[in-house]
Amino acid sequence: MLEVTGLHVAYGGIQAVRSITFHVKQGETVALIGANGAGKTSTLKAISRVIDAVGGDVHFCGEKITRLLPHDIIRKGIALVPEGRGVFPRLTVAENLAMGAYVRDDKADIALDMERMYAYFPRLKERAGQLAGTLSGGEQQMLAIGRALMSRPKMLLLDEPSMGLAPIMVQKIFEVVRAVAAEGMTILLIEQNAKLALESSQRGYVMESGQITLNGESAKLLDDPKVRAAYLGE
């Protein structure tokens, strides 16, 4: 479904991503793990066109999306949950969700989807009228995921959903991620928390200094001595 070939990202002279190739199949959850600064977020940003890639191609559902404008990516069916959540702090929770459905015009269906998000995250329903900037970090993460789902994407890109959250909140967020995946959503998950990411995915790629150094089934990666040593603290 998503095919990334030879993707290269640089900031000035700094090579953030060096010619990486990977793919995500329909219905799969794929984890992209690696340390801070390995180039994971740059990869996601290049796919979602927030930044320009220097080289390489990205195909989605057979179509080349490497040169699309950022606001057209979501129309192709890719929704990004950005690093640091990126909720609109002075819009209400309900308005943030409505922004997720910005590309849709079917009002009745949007209202139904809004109820679905409230069912996933009852906390958001309680706070529907509150400004998003007043939510806790975990609630903002719930909102960012709900907002991305409101566009009815074919694929979800998650950038560090566990970052800066209390363990209990991380559990809750990942429960929802797994539930969404179980409903058939294709997910590319970026995480520093390698254990959690590999436990929640079918396949995984390990990134180091802008390159993919290992890949395979998540269960096998979890048992790989190199992964265990480098990312699982053993």
Q: Map residue 107 onto helix, strand or coil.
A: helix
- Phi, psi (degrees; rounded to nearest 5) at 122: -55, -30
Q: Does 137 bind another protein (CB under 8 A)?
A: yes
Report the residue number, 67 or 90, with the smaller CB distance to another protein.
90
Q: Does 37 bind another protein (CB under 8 A)?
A: no
Give me the residue label for tokens 């066109």. 49
Q: Please answer whether residues 60 and 77 qualify as being in contact, where contact means their C-beta atoms are separated by less than 8 angstroms.
A: yes
Q: Does 140 bind another protein (CB under 8 A)?
A: yes
Report the residue number, 54 or 214, with the smaller CB distance to another protein.
54
Q: Which residues of 50-67 are buried (b: 16+ CB within 10 A; e: fewer)?
A: ebebbebebebeeeebbe
Give me the residue label for tokens 């679905």. 116
Nearest to 120 by CA among 138, 151, 146: 146
Q: Does 147 bind another protein (CB under 8 A)?
A: yes
Task: Quote the least distance from Cβ 211 to another protein, whole Å.
Answer: 26
Q: Does 82 bind another protein (CB under 8 A)?
A: yes
Q: Please answer whether residues 173 and 165 qualify as being in contact, where contact means their C-beta atoms are separated by less than 8 angstroms.
A: yes
Q: Contacting another protein (CB under 8 A), which of 88, 199, 211, 213?
A: 88
Interface with another protein: number of residues (CB under 8 A): 33
Q: Does 136 bind another protein (CB under 8 A)?
A: yes
Here the tokens at position 169 are 């909140």
- CA dist 233 to 194, 227, 230, Å? 10, 9, 6
Task: Quote the least distance from Cβ 101 to another protein, whole Å.
Answer: 9
2 DSSP β-pair partners: 24, 60
Q: Contacting another protein (CB under 8 A), which of 98, 214, 222, 232?
A: 98
Task: Quote the least distance from Cβ 136 to another protein, whole Å.
Answer: 6
Report the residue number, 63 or 234, with the smaller CB distance to another protein.
63
Q: Does 171 bind another protein (CB under 8 A)?
A: no
Binding site for another protein (CB under 8 A): 48, 50, 69-75, 79-80, 82, 86, 88-91, 95, 98-100, 102-103, 131, 133-137, 140, 147, 151, 164
